[in-house]
Amino acid sequence: MEMSLLVTAALLYLGLALGFILIVDNLVGLVFRDSRTPLRLPSFDIGRAFAATQKFDRK
């Protein structure tokens, strides 16, 4: 009985701590906005790559 109560309390504590961290992180993100545009990696279009492989397969 005491062990399950301890596990429940620990899980509740972890959940509340993670929730608190997420709330603080979002508030900090609202206050300190990054004015620069974020660094974007070149996107790889899977649809075009798939169409290109189909083209090569037909030849």
Tens-digit pLDDT string for the chain (59 aa): 788 999 999 999 999 999 999 999 999 988 887 777 665 555 566 777 777 777 666 55
3-state class of 42 per DSSP? coil
Q: Could you tell me where the beta strands, DSSP code E, fall in 1-59?
A: none
Tokens of 15: 């959940």
Predicted pLDDT of residue 18: 97
Predicted pLDDT of residue 25: 93
Predicted pLDDT of residue 7: 94
Predicted pLDDT of residue 14: 97
